[in-house]
Amino acid sequence: MNASTGSVFDETRFSADRLGSLGGATGSTDERLRVRTPITDEEIGTVASFQPDDVERAVERVRERQPAWEAMGIQTRAEIVDRFGDLVSNRRAQLLDLVQLETGKTRQHALEEVLDIVLTASYYGAAGPKLFGDERRRGAIPGASDAVVTYDPVGVVGVIAPWNYPLTLSMTDAIPALLAGNAVVCKPDERTPYTALAVASLLEEAGVPDGLVRVVTGDGSTVGPSLIDAVDYVAFTGGTETGRTVAERAGRNLIGCSLELGGKNPLLVLDDADVEVAARGAVKGAFTNAGQLCLAPERVYVHEDRYEAFLDAFVGETRALTLGCSFEYGPDVGSLIDGAHAERVGTSVDEARDSGASVLTGGRRRRDVGPFVYEPTIVTDVDADCPLASEETFGPVVSVSPVSSVDEAVDRANDSAYGLNASVWTGNVERGREIARQIDCGTVCINDPYTVGWAAVDAPMGGVGDSGLGRRHGPEGFDRFVESRTIATARYGPLEPPASLSNRTAARLLAVLTGVQRRIVRWRS
């Protein structure tokens, strides 16, 4: 794996004044949060360090502005959401710079974030009016009653976003929440606040009223609980253990929550797969964003008839990758987020090696490329009790194991507490779909590691088990942010038998009416 050179800093791109303009509102103290770039491990600026009272006031202020936003109507809100997507596309160069500066990812991987926001905004901008209208439902007694379901926004939605995809994951939940008529308060990770601040300013430029969206920056353990206590719904993306804490607090407050958490995602290479194609897909899946992707495959199971050929192709493709910290298109793999995470990834590989695993390529930290760069790493013969076998690594590390049958591959894929994403590689798509139904994951991709699932924004995405609760994308991703109301009408007064009937006769009449209604339901279905 070679290092790719390129310019790291360009003062016209990253002036102190430019970052300072994104610094956000001040909190109740003068304390500031220092932000560093993983590219050089240098400080790039400071942002406000919000305290609990600051968060509460921020929520109160956006709550005051929410009714006017709701009153603008779904069509107007949809037009603003669509316009926001256009602005993100038009400002992509600046956004790419900012995402790279905060995360250290390559420009190509940063581009995926920008394109994702454009796609999501376009989808909800077009689908919004269809998702929000009143719905007529079957009444208790046809002809004598009816029922209509109406929808209202929940109020204020809190979005808690992680550092690995700071643009996508600060906005992919905020977009449908805003479309539904809610106000939004976003808590970005303390390592990546500037991206959230920048994109929030684009929302206002698109037409979202001033003050309806607020970014609260600061330490997660301070800001997070205060935000959950103040909002009406929380959308969280992050680690599983933190997700449990979020769900517990939301439950105590009797508010809804959606949680997209970790994964130990399996990739299955069947006996009829094209190993060259599967190897390219495994490289893309495992090493995009230096493996810091919740959807990335970390466990590869290959049919024994394809095992050696796949390994040769996979190792060859991986060794050809270039490493680099550049703001130009070029390097294939960028940096990990910080030193602590680089140490965790390295320790995971070292423990596997010490327990008998073979490192076929990679396995080294590359300080010559960047302070937190780690080589894309392929490991075999991993002991089942080794943490690398079952715990999320969240880095450019993947294990490969042979299996003797499809049943064994499925069993091993399902032998995990996680269930976020999986992929199946086969020459027979129908066979792949049949196998996909047997895998305990919220999303299963055929002949692609994750992109076709994530980019299908009309389809729900989320996990099962320790990978989370709820779904984003599609109508399901919108429905999280509304409360339904049923308005039922009796056309001729209360639904009760005439007072002139005896109780016995009334009971017989109700039984007859129930039978008629059942036949009507069956006929209509």
If residue 177 lies in a helix (H) or strand (E), which one and from where to where?
helix 174-179
- What is the dihedral angle through the alpha carbons of 450, 258, 83, 99, rounded to the nearest 10 degrees? -60
Nearest to 192 by CA among 309, 105, 89: 105
How many Å apart are CA 40 and CA 250, to the nearest integer?
Answer: 38
Between helix 240-252 and helix 220-230 the angle, nearest 10°, is: 30
Is residue 387 within 8 A of residue 354, CB to CB? The reply is: no
260 is catalytic: yes
Q: Is 294 a catalytic residue?
A: yes
- Marked catalytic residue, from 102, 186, 190, 294: 294
Distance CA 520, CA 217 (A): 56
Q: Which of 519, 490, 506 is nearest to 139 (CA)?
A: 490
Residues 456, 107 contacting (CB under 8 angstroms): no
Going by their DSSP bridges, the two strands 443-446 and 421-425 should be labelled as parallel
Residue 365's H or E segment, with its range, is none
The answer to whether residues 365 and 349 touch, using CB atoms and an 8 Å cutoff, is: no
The Cα diameter of the chain in Å comes to 93
**Of 102, 260, 298, 392, which is the active-site residue?**
260
Q: Which residue has 């793999």 as its token pair? A: 333
The catalytic residues are: 260, 294
